[in-house]
Every structure is written in structure tokens, then in C-alpha cells.
Structure 1
Amino acid sequence: MKNTSKIINLLTLLLFLSLPSFAQDAKPTKGWQNLDLEQDGYLGISTYKAEKTLLNGKTAVPIVVAIIDGGVDIDHPGISPYLWTNKREIPGNGIDDDHNGFVDDIHGWNFLGDGKYTFHYDNKEIVRKFRAAYKADSNSLETRTLKSEIGNKVAALKSQFALISPEYDALMEILKELGSKEPTLEKLRSFKYKSEFQEIALVHLVRGLQSDPEYIENFTDKRNTYKNQIDYYFNVSYDPRRGNTAFSKKKYGNNNVKGLEPSHGTHVAGIIPSVCKNAKLMIIRTIPDGDPLDQDVASSIRYAVDNGARIINMSTGKSLSMNKEAVDDAVRYAMSKDVLIVHAAGNAGIKIEQQTVFPNRYYQKGGLAQAWIEVGASGPKKSNEVLPWFSNYSKQIVDVFAPGVDIYSTFPNNRYKFLNGTSMAAPVVSGAAALIMAYNSTMGAVAVKKLMLESVIKLDQNVNAAGESISFDELSLSGGIVNVFKVFNTLFKK
């Protein structure tokens, strides 16, 4: 066979690239984020314990929580009962009944589109920076440096895509020949492969399905991630806003809050009412597949504040910010209206420093947003893995930790799914804050944050943080994990 050695080398690389684990730990109890360490053995935030022993018989009020994310499946039965509804707007009449500049904004707003146009993919901020530099001087040192950096990134992505594509193509061939997207292990074991690539794909598929029922979906997502980065993230020729003058206006967008791929936002949204049944979810579609535009983030914060949100949940981050001042002004506006902002710390598994992740609480011209909570993710058990490998941490930047590993929540098309991330931890904190406000409606945002940080569960143990053994209380400002039972125990003692 021609190029046999080349194929063997490629197969070897594929083996190390995509070989799944042979065993998978059992998933924790669904809803463990609400359980209690002493009663249930899980490092949850003790919601159920608080409800049974401290909140029973007490009156709560609805609390509007804005979710700035990538879209939400608002028809999901785990979300639809908790939606915020703009009662000043008449659904579907095409008129801005409440005169707020947004037509038919019944459950929120979509800033990733205008009129009937909605987009999903967007550029990385470095591409926007390159365009601005190119427009100013196409041959400047900055332009050439950015072009080179983007080119190197694309070359690396294409190399990775070339490695994974043969196995992916072989996998699709196998599924097509079997006539099923969800083949049984028996059918797979009897399948007669016809090429080296089909052989390696078959081995990985059998092993993968034994430990991960969603292996095919996850492997497809892995392949598509490389493709999307090449086609959209770092493609200087792609701009979803090009030629649409509406995006330069102060008010733009439409009411399609679901968008084209609402998986992330749907999962985030379902976590909040799992903690606080009195939460009313205002859906604001702002985060594309790519880096969010600062203008969209700023507009979203202002929309949330102007329409009555008391808490804003944001699960987004990027390494550059072209128009941070616009976001800063919107954050200042939220602070002036006593709105709490809860933000995910990120999933790079690193110690973060000031101004390394955007948006953040630090104003470009000095000072910081006091009613801002930066959230890291914690695991379900009191062990060395209570700090998951992916969660960012920092004694100076991260305020608190909350459950963010194997969180079971809503997923599009009436499904539910376990997911990991600080994006899962942030809505746990948003739900906890909503629960506190629901039973203490006059308590301000800064006071809620202060109480939450003073009432954490602390762990007397070390964890592995980026290869170092660090005391858990050194990972955040509060040194612990959010706990609503301790919060209410403190409140009701006063």
C-alpha cells in the first residue's frame, strides 16, 4: 500500500489524540449542588437543608435574574415556568408597546442579530483588532504582527483538524453503513472494517461508548470545534455584522432569545431555578460561538438593569477587550441601580490576575465594581479533587467557589445533561443570591455579596492547583464554598 508508514504514523497520533478513558467515575446525585456535606455527604450549598429547617413557612417574592448567554430554549419544561415576562408588551403585535426601544421583548432580547437576521458564530477579538489596525494602516508593525499571529493560529488549527478528520470521516462511514447514529455494541463488534482509519475509529468507538454514552456527540463536537475556529473565529474574511448598519445604532437586535444553538445557555438557565424557585429568568442572547462584542455586552447589561433585573448572570470571558470602557460604563450603571453581577471565573485551570479575563470588575480608569462576584467551580466531594482541573482560581480575583462539576440541568429539546464548568458554578451562586433576596427583598446587592462571602464553608485541606499543592482557602478571597444554610442561619439570628 502506498504511503503505509505515513498512515501508520497518523494512526498512532490519532490514538493518543482521541483515546477515551477506559473507566468513568459514577456521576454524583442529580442536583447535588443543593445538598449538604454533613447530611448528604456532598459539598453542595445546603439549599434543601435551609428550605426544610429555616425557610419553611416564610414568604418569598419573585426575583428577576438576567441570563447573559448564548440563547436559551425557553420552551423547555424545566425553564418555561420560571421565565420573566414583560407584562408591558403585547406578544407578537410588532409594536414597541412599552416604548423601551425593543419590539416584542416578551422574555428578553437578542443582540446577536437584527430584524429577522440571527447569527451564531463570531470572530475572536484579535481578528477585530487586526481589522481596526488594517483600516488605520494596512502595513503598520501592529497590522503585520497581528496578521502573523492569526496566521500561526490558523496553521496550528488546520494541522489539528487534519489529524482528527480521517478518524471522524471513518466514524461517519461506519454509522452510515450500520444505518444508525446510535449503534449497539453488539453491532459494532461484528462490523467488518474496510480501512485502517475505520479500524482505529471502530476501536475508539467501542471503547468510548463503554465509558461515555455520548461519545459520538462529544467526538463530533471536538472535530467541529477545530473547523469552527478555522471558518469563523480566526477567519479575517468572516464578519457576521458586515453590511448591516443596524448594529451601529443604539438599539438593535430582535426577540429571538433561543438563537441557533442554545445548549450552553439552556443548561445555565436551568440551574438557577433548581436553587431558587422564585427566580424569574430574563433571557438576553449576547454570547456567540466566538468572542462576545463589547458593545453587545454593554447593551445587554443596560437592558437587564432597565427592565428590572436584580441579578445578572454572565458566563463569558475573553483575553482581549477592544472597547472595555463601554462595558465599564454599563457595569457602573448596574452598580448605581443596586444590581448584583455574578461572573464565571473561566476554565483555563490557571491562577488569574487582574485584567487577564474580560469582562471583569476592574474599571479601565481605576476603581472596581463592588457588587460583582467572581465564581470558581468546586467538586462534589471533600477530596483533593474538590478543585477541578479546569477551574481558574485567585486569592485576589476569585471571590468564592460553588458547585460546578457534573451539574445536571436542562438541555435543548426537552433533554437534561451533566456538564462541568465555572459556567455551571456561576448560576448556582446567582440562584443562591436570588434565594437570599427572595426572603429579604430589601437587602442590597453589596450586602448580599458580603453575607455570602462571610458565610462560606471552609475546607482545611490542600488541593492540586496547576501542579502545586495549595491550601483551599488560598484559592479565593472568601476561602470557601457558598452555603445558603449558613447565610440564612446568620440572617435569622439577627
Structure 2
Amino acid sequence: MNRSRIFSALLSVALISAIPTLANAQKTNWQNLDLKTDSTFGISTEKAYKELLKGKKSVKVIVAVNDGGVEATHEDLKRIMWVNTKEIAGNGKDDDKNGYIDDINGWNFIGGPKESINFETLELTRLVRRDQDRFANTTDANVAEKDKKDFAVFKAERADLEKQLAEAKENLAGLTGFKAALDAVVKKIGKQNPTIEDFKNFKPVTDVDARVQGVVIEELGKNSFKDFYEEQITEGFDYYNRQVNYNLNLDYDPRAIVGDDPNNVNEKFYGNNDVAGPDAMHGTHVAGIIAADRTNKLGILGVADNVAIMGVRCTPNGDERDKDVANGIRYAVDNGAKVINMSFGKAYSWNKAIVNEAMKYAASKDVLIVQAAGNENKNIDVENNFPNHKDLDEKTIASWITVGASGPKDDATLKASFSNYGKTQVDVFAPGVKIYSTVPGSKYKNLDGTSMASPVVAGLAGLIRSYYPKLSAAQVKEIIVKSVTKVNHNVEYAKSEEPGAEKISVPFSDLCISGGIVNAYNALKLAATYSGKAVAK
């Protein structure tokens, strides 16, 4: 998760801020609302159900959530989870002979016989670890001619790793210090959950007290103290602690848990059937956005009303491995998914070729892949973000949508501050700011990210394929891209993540191929005009 502007009075950590607020009546479903009717830049899902889909029949479509885990027992997901009826649950046998034992709701490619991976290193860390022994005694003076290119890459990657690790350590120390100072102020106030008025009435004793008071008063203008502390202090500490001790730690390698050979890209039958894993927060949230039960009067409303969610666990708390990504795609395709959501990405790739081949395989089987653009506020036309389609054929690209994140207001803030963008690499934008969805424990939470925008589009793709099942994956993508609500004004975003960074203003059309926000109402109207549609009325 990208974090921009955190506690600039004390440290330069990241926190998504300056996010427009929504009326309480709308905040739990704003991504499905209509700009004209509701004055909120959603995708007009509810309007589509009311005016276009009422009384129409549909077929069930399987949508795979290739992610960090899905809680299949969640109150708002349990009815819509994919169930492999060819398997007999719990008998320890591969009843359907697909190579995966007891895969009732999907498969976990980062699990082993006894447990599953939670934390992992970044791909950058793995690449540096791979090459540091090879170049242990190599210098610019003695490097062999044949190794010069690889050595230059290694040095650049090592420098990047060292830079990120130093920043993570600095931020962890700063946040730890801020937390201690804040806890001391709260103790002086004498309330467990002080209000903004409590902080305003507080009389600082030290300069640190005063700086803490100023930061918290600003933040409590947007959040309760409890939410502020959980989302910014606790989660911030956990984030940088993970970076220091796991993600960027050359000495950490949990892969033995799985028991496979991670370098054998031809190995496919490994893992376990625990589709939730040790941390199902992210994937459960994604699944709810796509298809949370629209009939049970509980929780939230998913975009699609007749899809089954297949859980494919392939991403840990760290960077996913290309082998697992490729196998996750192939598993979803081979077991009937017609849409795959991939809310993940990374700056480096170990073996892009095997992911490319899996993408081609999905395209050949008429499966649409929907991918999050990433949360670094960078132009992925020129900066790496994997997977990407920079070296893939047109047929594959025609079955692959990359999604940026937008906010609720049709103004200069429409581009989410964190969202990546790209005139040639990002197809569309969709709501991804303060999206309220399912999380483990049959609970619900707001999260931000292109990770939330991607399942909005995956849900729309599932909706179209459900009501118009004869349309191909390429046609569904074409419909989604052609039917966007065009944005004919400029948007602003910061040039960097530094506090107070200069903002630039650009036409929204410079940010993605379509120049707009996806729209379910428009898409379904357009789908009805395509030849080959098959919907019983």
C-alpha cells in the first residue's frame, strides 16, 4: 500500500490523505452510485440494475480472486463462493484428478503441508540475494566483459535495496518515537479515545507535546482518534516493521514452508487448499467489492449479482513470485474462471516470461484478466510495474485490462493521489478511495488503492459476461473501455511523495487509454448492441 504525507511535523512517512469525504448514507456503496443522480462519481451500477437488468436472466460466471486469501465463511461471501462440486471435501483425495487435493473453494500456491507463508521478501531482495554470491569478489576493475551488464544491474538493485532499507529503518524509528510521544500525551489527557476538543484543550508541556497536538488536531478533522490510531499509527508501525524484518531482509526466506523448488518453473502441483491463509484481509476486501451478496440484506452490495468467487492464494505480505502468479492464472483458467482479478504488482520481476505465457494461455481460453495499476503515483508507461503487457501480442492485450483508481468527486481530485497512471499501459480508472467492503471475521472496512479499483472493473466484467455470456473476453474489454464516462477536465497530483511536493495539473485523458471512469450502465447498454448476445428476457 502506498502511504503519502504522514505526520510531516515529525517524520516523512506515507499516509493517504486529503481524501474527499462522503455523506454517511453513501459511503458504504459510493462506487456503485451515479454521478448525475447521486453527485458521486461511481460507476452507475445501481442505475443499471434498476433500469436495464430488472427481470432479465443471467448465467453464473466464475470470477477468480488471485490474491492473498479470501475468507470463504464471511457472512457476505459464503453464498457466492465457488464450490468445486467434483471434489469431496475433507477426504484427502484428488477426486477430480486436477492435481489439487480437496480444492473446494480454490487453491493456495503459497501454502505447505503444515502452514502457509504470510510474510515474504520483495522481488528486489530475492534478486540481490541471488546475485550477491556470484559477484562477491567482483569490482568494476576486475569484472569480466561477459558479466558487465549483469554486474551493472546487480549494483543498481543492491543500491535500491540499501536505500529502501535505510528509509524503512528511519521511518520505523520515527514512527516508534511519534507513537511513544502520542501515547504520553493521551495519558496526560486521561482518556482512552480523546476527541479533537480534548486535544485542543490540552496544554503542552514540551515542544514534542505541541507538535503531537498539532498533527493530531489536523488528523482528527477527518477521522476519529480510534480510526486515526489504528490506521496510521498501528498499521504504519506494522508496515515498516514488515519492511525491515521481512520484505527487505536478505536473511529472511520462508519458502521452505511450501516445500517446492521455487526455481523450477515447470512445477505446478504444490500448495494446499487453505484459500484464506494467515492474512485474508486484502483478498476478502477485493472479493466483496466484486460480488458481496446483494440479496441477504447484510453488509454491502457487490457489483455483480450472479458470479461465484474462486479463491486463488498466490500473493503474500511481500512480493508475489512469478511462478506462483503463473500457476495461479492457469489454475483459475483450468477450473472455469471467466474473469481473473489480480490486485497486485511489483517493481521487479524474476521471470516475466512465465507470467507472459500464462497470460497468453488465459487469452487463448477466452478469460479476461483485470489488474491493478499500482499505488506509487508513477507513470508505468516509463517505470516498471509487473506484470505488464509491454512485450505481449495484441490478442493477449485484448483480454487484459489495467485499472487506475479514482475518487468520488468530479473535480481536480478525481485521480486518487496514490494511483499509478499511463497513457499506454492503463486502460481505465475506477473508484478506489475509501471503498467499504468485507474483511475477515464477517466485518467490514474502508480501504484505499488500485487494489480496490481493479475488482470494481472485475465485477463489471463478471456482470457483463453473466448477462451476455456469448460475448468474448476481448469484446467485454472493448465494451468496458468504449463505454467509460469521459473526463473532460484537468486533474492534479503531486510530483513526488515528499511532504509539500509540487502539484501538477494534466488532462485526465493523459492518464489512461480510455480517458474516463468505467460505467456499468453505459457498458451494459453497449453490450446489448453487440452481435452474439444471448440474454433471455
The TM-score, its normalising length taken from structure 1, stands at: 0.89
Aligned CA distance change for structure 1 residues 85 and 165 (closer, same or farther; 3 Å): same
Which of 462, 482, 489 is the equivalent residue of 2:525? Answer: 489
Which of 44, 47, 50 is the equivalent residue of 1:46? Answer: 44
Instruction: Number of aligned residue pairs: give it.
Output: 484
| In structure 1, C-alpha distance between the alignment counterparts of 2:56 and 2:272, rounded to whole Å | 39
Partner of 2:437, secondary structure, is strand
Residue pairs, 1:214-293, within 5 angstroms: 214-218=227-231, 219-242=233-256, 245-248=259-262, 249-273=267-291, 274-293=302-321
Q: Is the 8 A contact 1:35 1:46 kept in 2?
A: yes
Which of 115, 122, 134 is the equivalent residue of 1:124? Answer: 122
Aligned CA distance change for structure 1 residues 198 and 106 (closer, same or farther; 3 Å): farther
| In structure 2, C-alpha distance between the alignment counterparts of 1:262 and 1:276, rounded to whole Å | 21
Partner of 1:377, secondary structure, is strand
Aligned CA distance change for structure 1 residues 325 and 223 (closer, same or farther; 3 Å): same
Cα offset for 1:13?
5.2
RMSD: 3.1
Residue pairs, 1:173-252, within 5 angstroms: 182=193, 204=215, 208-209=219-220, 211-213=222-224, 214-218=227-231, 219-242=233-256, 245-248=259-262, 249-252=267-270
Q: Is the 8 A contact 2:322 2:349 kept in 1?
A: yes
With 124-133 and 169-178 compared, the bigger mean Cα shift is at 169-178
Q: Is the 8 A contact 1:24 1:211 kept in 2?
A: no
Which of 357, 360, 380 is the equivalent residue of 2:408? Answer: 380
- Tell me the alpha carbon deviations over residues 123-172 of structure 1, each in whole angstroms, 9 at most, x when there is no partner: 11111111221343433353555444423332232222222212223445
Cα offset for 1:244?
5.7
Cα offset for 1:190?
9.3
> If each structure's helix is expressed as a fraction of its own residues, which one has the higher value?
1
| In structure 1, C-alpha distance between the alignment counterparts of 2:424 and 2:392, rounded to whole Å | 17
Amino acid at match of 1:472: F
- Tell me the alpha carbon deviations over residues 58-92 of structure 1, each in whole angstroms, 9 at most, x when there is no partner: 10111100011111222221211211111111111
| In structure 2, C-alpha distance between the alignment counterparts of 1:17 and 1:451, rounded to whole Å | 40
- Matched residue, 1:433: 461
Aligned CA distance change for structure 1 residues 20 and 149 (closer, same or farther; 3 Å): closer
Cα offset for 1:453?
1.2
The TM-score, its normalising length taken from structure 2, stands at: 0.82
| In structure 1, C-alpha distance between the alignment counterparts of 2:52 and 2:20, rounded to whole Å | 38
- Matched residue, 1:5: none
Asked if 1:455 corresponds to 2:483, the answer is yes
- Matched residue, 2:510: 474
Asked if 1:166 corresponds to 2:177, the answer is yes
Aligned CA distance change for structure 1 residues 174 and 69 (closer, same or farther; 3 Å): farther
| In structure 2, C-alpha distance between the alignment counterparts of 1:165 and 1:487, rounded to whole Å | 48
- Matched residue, 2:397: 369
With 196-205 and 117-126 compared, the bigger mean Cα shift is at 196-205
Aligned CA distance change for structure 1 residues 425 and 55 (closer, same or farther; 3 Å): same
- Matched residue, 1:4: none
Which of 348, 373, 378 is the equivalent residue of 1:350? Answer: 378
Q: Is the 8 A contact 2:428 2:481 kept in 1?
A: yes
| In structure 1, C-alpha distance between the alignment counterparts of 2:509 and 2:17, rounded to whole Å | 31
| In structure 2, C-alpha distance between the alignment counterparts of 1:19 and 1:356, rounded to whole Å | 23
Amino acid at match of 1:48: E
Identity %: 42
Gaps of 5+ in 1: 1-10
| In structure 2, C-alpha distance between the alignment counterparts of 1:261 and 1:53, rounded to whole Å | 39
| In structure 2, C-alpha distance between the alignment counterparts of 1:306 and 1:338, rounded to whole Å | 11
Gaps of 5+ in 2: 1-6, 140-150, 292-301, 496-502, 531-537
Q: Is the 8 A contact 1:22 1:208 kept in 2?
A: no
With 178-187 and 244-253 compared, the bigger mean Cα shift is at 178-187
Q: Is the 8 A contact 1:168 1:201 kept in 2?
A: no
Aligned CA distance change for structure 1 residues 237 and 178 (closer, same or farther; 3 Å): farther
